[in-house]
Amino acid sequence: MPIKIQSDLPARSILEQENIFVMTENRAAQQDIRPLKIAIVNLMPTKETTETQLLRLLGNTPLQIDISLVRLETHESSHVSEEHLEKFYIPSSELFKNKYDGMIITGAPVEQMPFEDVDYWNELCDIMDFAKENVFSTLFICWGAQAGLYHNYGIKKLSLEKKAFGIFKNHKTIKADPLLRGFDDIFPVPTSRHTTTGKTSIQKVKDLIILAENQENEVTLCKSSDNRMIFMTGHLEYDTETLAKEYWRDKEKGLPIEVPLNYYPDNDPEKTPVNTWRSTAHLFYSNWLNYYVYQETPYDFNV
């Protein structure tokens, strides 16, 4: 699916080097089709890295996607230039003027804070409420998933004794669901978090369906019964080196951190990590776009 982006977005050159099909605005305008409109609410501090990771996955299916990168107006980002945000992102006030086929709400490094203490919490709640009526399917990632479960269903997050960190093995808990079509019986998902969402709490909500669990018997993937909300607690979008960067960052800060599980060859952090989740990631995003976005949304979005 060629992704429609601004011609000078920094991610473009990286994606083109990887043979990911990107399309500039001028070329997209010459095609007589309606692209899927996907909004990405990017809450990660390293926004340019996250942009590239998500666009890489969204660009690997057969239709055209019109991407809107969204920034929050009640939060000042410190790891990206204001020029980048002004040039490539729309403010949430602009988001509220449109309808979208799909939306992605990313994770954020605020999981150990109470939700209400996050400076942009109220604005994020407004976006999640907006999505219920104006987005056909919203994908919540990691802390974004915890935020979505808390705001929509009142499910609280739980602190872990130690950080869940590494490549966790997962299994399907349902025989057939389009999101997991083509998945192996056991599939890997990069995980990096200090909190979790209780399986029992999710099971008590009749509207939620658990699709996959990890080796620790935690919920990795669940969804609302109408497919409008998808909650992924891991980071399939991560690059090969992402967990390594987190590990060495925390080591240098003197923080208690274990070697990420199932990540380095022979569990040796001096060796180069191997990517074992790339095909799972592409399949997951392809399934979401095809079965829960493209197949469901109408051609005329304003009807």
18 is catalytic: no
Provide the 3-class DSSP secondary structure of residue 160.
strand
133 is catalytic: no
Number of H helices, E strands in the chain: 10, 12
Q: How far apart are CA 114 and CA 3, in angstroms?
A: 36
Residue pair 124/106 in contact (Cβ under 8 Å)? The answer is: no
237 is catalytic: yes
Q: How far apart are CA 142 and CA 130, in angstroms?
A: 20
User: Please, is 214 exposed, middle or buried when counting C-beta atoms within 10 Å of its C-beta (0-12, 13-18, 19+)?
Assistant: buried
Q: Which residues, other chains included, contact 255 with Cβ-Cβ below 8 Å and sequence gap of 6+?
A: none
Q: What is the number of alpha carbons within 13 Å of residue 160 lying toward its C-beta?
A: 14
48, 111, 142, 222: the catalytic one is 142
Q: How far apart are CA 145 and CA 234, in angstroms?
A: 9
Q: What residues act catalytically?
A: 142, 235, 237
